[in-house]
Amino acid sequence: MSAGVSESSFAFETVDPPGTGVPPHVHPTQDEHIYVLEGVFTLYLDGEWTTAGPGDTVLMPRDRPHAYYNRSENPTRGLFWVSPAGRLAELFDTLHNLEDPAEVVRLSATCDVQFLPPGTVEGA
């Protein structure tokens, strides 16, 4: 993952293998955006499921539950950014190689990312 961070924003590129993604969560203090570079993301936002492909830009406003997945058979690649940066870069550094989901949820909450309980969102 390559990344850039300032006080006002944090941008990072992702490559997501098939079958991966980030479950429903909320950023109470940040707006999040995705610019899709390759593949198709399946997205959850405001109670609706949709897809976004190459060239699409997606806004996931603060305080709104959202999720993204790669449900295709090919890798996806996207440029993500949040504004303001908050503590997201710090969180990513902390979560690197962490495999315990409960610990991911706990640490995320300390950095203003709140995961929804499993089963809250149908189809997640």
Domain annotation covers residue 121: no
Domain annotation covers residue 52: yes
Domain annotation covers residue 124: no
pTM above 0.85, yes or no: yes
- What pLDDT, on the 0 to 100 scale, is given for residue 2? 58
Name the domain count of the chain.
1
- What pLDDT, on the 0 to 100 scale, is given for residue 121? 87
> For the residues 44-52, what does the mean pLDDT come to?
94
> For the residues 2-26, what does the mean pLDDT come to?
91
Give bridge partners of residue 79 from the DSSP assignment. Answer: 13, 35
Domain annotation covers residue 26: yes
Domain annotation covers residue 94: yes
The helix/strand/coil state of 70 is coil
| Residue 51 in this model has a pLDDT that exceeds 60 | yes
For residues 110 and 122, what is the distance between their CA atoms, to the nearest angstrom?
A: 26
Q: Where in the sequence is the domain holding 32, given as residue range(s)?
A: 3-115
> For the residues 41-54, what does the mean pLDDT come to?
95
Domain annotation covers residue 120: no
- What pLDDT, on the 0 to 100 scale, is given for residue 124? 83
Contact 91, 107 (CB under 8 A): yes
Domain annotation covers residue 122: no
| Residue 1 in this model has a pLDDT that exceeds 70 | no
Contact 68, 41 (CB under 8 A): yes
Domain annotation covers residue 123: no
CATH number at residue 83: 2.60.120.10
Average pLDDT over the chain, rounded to an integer: 93
